[in-house]
Amino acid sequence: MSLRVVFLGTSGSVPTLKRSLPSVVVQCSREQLMFDCGENVQRQMMQAKVSFHRKMIVLITHLHGDHVLGLPGLLQTMALMDRKEPVQIYGPAGLKDFLICTKETLNFGLTFPVEIFEIISEGVVCDEEEYRIITTKTNHAVESYAFAFVERPRPGKFYPKKALARGVVAGELWSKLQHGEEIKLPNDTVVRPSDVMGPTRSGRKIVYTGDTKPFESFASFAHGADLIIHDCTFDDALTEKAAVDGHSTPSQAASQAKAAHAKQLVLSHISARYPNANLLLDQARKVFPNSILAEDFMELELPLSE
Amino acid sequence: MSLRVVFLGTSGSVPTLKRSLPSVVVQCSREQLMFDCGENVQRQMMQAKVSFHRKMIVLITHLHGDHVLGLPGLLQTMALMDRKEPVQIYGPAGLKDFLICTKETLNFGLTFPVEIFEIISEGVVCDEEEYRIITTKTNHAVESYAFAFVERPRPGKFYPKKALARGVVAGELWSKLQHGEEIKLPNDTVVRPSDVMGPTRSGRKIVYTGDTKPFESFASFAHGADLIIHDCTFDDALTEKAAVDGHSTPSQAASQAKAAHAKQLVLSHISARYPNANLLLDQARKVFPNSILAEDFMELELPLSE
């Protein structure tokens, strides 16, 4: 499947003219996942041409306003657009209260089901055909979760020549082998998928930290990620402030990516104090060279691994 | 005092790329009034250079999400900016519940007092030194209020020649007369303000309707307004839909302005179905020629009346 990551909001706490409040969308097949849902997400979606109608799962890292205040307006707008498809929302305890109280005090109707799931433990939070979402607690000022999008492993490469050599002609039998079934030929020979295919290929992995200072178990949680989108609120000179507020600096984010043996790091949740955040990028690259700086409307295409 | 009207959001219900959700700021002297507070108001304020620290009164017409979902984020951002000055918020019953429940579920702290006043009757809602805010119920789907900003009448023009002719020399005595006091000269002559000043000059008046279909008593409520900012959600061809949804068309908004003997009409709360809203303007101008179309970041300066 194709896998596109769209950055809708990349500031932390307070928006700026250049950066809206946190939200990242991962588009895969015919559905999309939204990580955090900051205020103004609707207009950011419009500008980035992110669909209001697709199958959608929203994952909220924590209940600070900058990460969640876009939700009521988004749901309301979806209803005004006559959405029918359900929206599933995962987040910490309290999420349900927040959504119910805004819905009740503002008295808005919905045209589609909203399914709210409060996270009660670490591990798999949703288990879809093509991927799973796994969560772990982070180290922030309030209960907060990081999420890993983990694509299921794909079958190995199919070698038509090997199939033909074993007398399997193109057509339905090839498809069965590609889908993991062993087949029996008219002459009773059994052909197994492993006879005509390469080794299973690992799926892609994207980790979204939300707000956090560094924590020990992150390396194993994010191990081998193709992409880590990491809190990078303050520069290295403000390491103490970052610790107090439960945030990370560039060197810390980069060390986490390095420890996890990630392929690429994106620094996000940038404080409004950096109109130009190149300083953050420079500090990260000293530790983890394949770092980039998140920008609103930046899009990354994650190629299939071979 | 100077009087500047800044349009921060001019769409209705759903934002567009061109129009953010409803909010209008009136800046006068060292304070500002905000009428409605749609989602994303913070970034609109930043772009329009509207202060986050000035003395501020927020007036919410009704509790539909598009008019109020900018408030929690705005208050939170003001706190992060270390605002000290109180914010007063007026709006319909339920406003307090909405603000308390978002503040509690999102657990954010404030650095300044927020004073919430729920409107319980029509009439004067706030009474300041230089102006009053008067409210009236509108005709919308839910309890909704229009607001009139009414500047206090200014003293008449002072004529120095008349003062000198009566033997009043420039200085403190002139100031007393200008401030409405009568004075006694050393020769026991009494000079009254009306002896040396022209007739009282009326203050300026701005009316903000919020969402409404036309209603009978509007003409007297808005009588003589310098500016009416009126709901104009749908074009005249959708008059029936407008009636069902509790909104106005251009002809209706223009008729209201005409009946009120207003000086100027601004059409706002434009439906997302009009990427180009000139049609609305044409329809309004047939009834009330001095109509203009609200645009995000449009600013109007209201000159002192003579």
Max distance between CA atoms of chain A, in angstroms, equals 74
pLDDT at B123: 96
Alpha helices in B95-212 (DSSP H): 95-106, 160-165, 172-178, 193-196
| CATH entry 3.60.15.10 includes domain A3-154+201-301 | yes
B17 vs A43, A65, A80: nearest CB: A43
Residue A306 has pLDDT above 80, yes or no: no
pLDDT score of A15 more than 80: yes
Report the DSSP beta bridge partners of residue A231: A268
CA–CA separation, A68 and A29 (whole Å): 25
- The first and second tokens of residue A161, run together, are 């020549």
**The token pair that represents B266 in the structure block:** 């601004």
Closest-CA residue of chain A to B62: A106
Query: Does the pLDDT of residue A161 top 90, yes or no?
Result: yes
How far apart (Å, rounded) are the C-alpha atoms in residues B221 and A88? 47
Q: Do A108 and B20 touch (CB under 8 A)?
A: no
Interface test with B, best of A45, A62, A69, A269 (most B CBs within 10 A): A69
Q: Is A94 an 8 Å CB contact of chain B?
A: yes
d(CA A230, CA A247): 10
Which tokens belong to A23?
Answer: 């939200």
B13 in contact with A at a CB cutoff of 8 Å? yes
pLDDT value of position B306: 66
Q: Which of residues 189-208 of A touch B (CB under 8 A)?
A: none
Task: Give the residue carrying structure tokens 């009306």.
Answer: B194
A66 is catalytic: yes
pLDDT at B235: 98
Burial of B271 (0-12, 13-18, 19+ CB in 10 A): buried
**β-strands A87-91, A114-118: how paired?**
parallel
In this prediction the ipTM stands at: 0.92
Mutate which: A52, A68, A105, vs B, most B CBs within 10 A: A105
What DSSP element (H or E) covers B239? helix B239-245
* Encoded tokens for B97: 């519940």
B97 touching A (Cβ < 8 Å): yes
Distance from the B223 Cα atom to the nearest Cα atom in chain A, whole angstroms: 32
Question: Structural domain boundaries of chain B?
Answer: 3-154+201-301, 160-196
pLDDT at A123: 96
* DSSP-derived pairing of the beta strands A205-208 and A190-191: unpaired
Residue A305 has pLDDT above 80, yes or no: no
Average pLDDT over residues A104-112: 93
**A81 touching chain B per CB within 8 A:** yes
Is the CB of B17 less than 8 angstroms away from the CB of A42? no
Among A68, A81, A105, the residue with its CB nearest the CB of B98 is: A105
CA distance B63 to chain A (A): 5
Q: Which residues of chain B have pLDDT under 50?
A: none
Q: What average pLDDT does chain A have?
A: 96
> Which two structure tokens, joined as six digits, stand for B291?
């109509």
Long-range CB contacts for residues A219-223, cutoff 8 Å, separation at least 24: A219/A256, A219/A259, A219/A260, A220/A260, A221/A134, A221/A136, A221/A146, A221/A148, A221/A260, A222/A146, A222/A148, A222/A256, A222/A257, A222/A260, A222/A262, A223/A260, A223/A261
Per-residue pLDDT at B230: 98
Which residue bears the tokens 């300066």?
Answer: B301
Could you tell me the CA-to-CA distances from B231 to A13, A153, B93, B211 in Å, in that order?
Answer: 33, 55, 22, 5
d(CA B168, CA A239): 69
Question: How many Cβ atoms are within 10 Å of B287's Cβ, its own excluded?
Answer: 18
Which residue in A has a C-alpha nearest to residue B78's C-alpha?
Answer: A14
Helix (H) or strand (E) holding B41: helix B41-48
Instruction: Choose from B67, B78, B102, B118 for mutation: most chain A CBs within 10 A.
Output: B102
* Count of Cβ atoms closer than 10 Å to residue A195 Cβ: 15
Q: What is the pLDDT of residues A251-291, one digit of tens each?
A: 999 999 999 999 999 999 999 999 999 999 999 999 999 99
Q: What is the pLDDT of residues A180-216, one digit of tens each?
A: 899 999 999 999 999 999 998 889 999 999 999 999 9
Give catalytic residue positions of B: 66
pLDDT tens figures, A135-155 = 999 999 999 999 999 999 988
Buried/exposed code over B154-193 (b: 16+ C-beta within 10 A; e: otherwise)? beeeeeeeebeebebeeeebbeebbeeeebeeeeeeebeb
C-alpha angle A248-A254-A257 in degrees, rounded to nearest 5: 110
Q: Is the dihedral of CA B98, B100, B101, B102 positive or negative?
A: positive
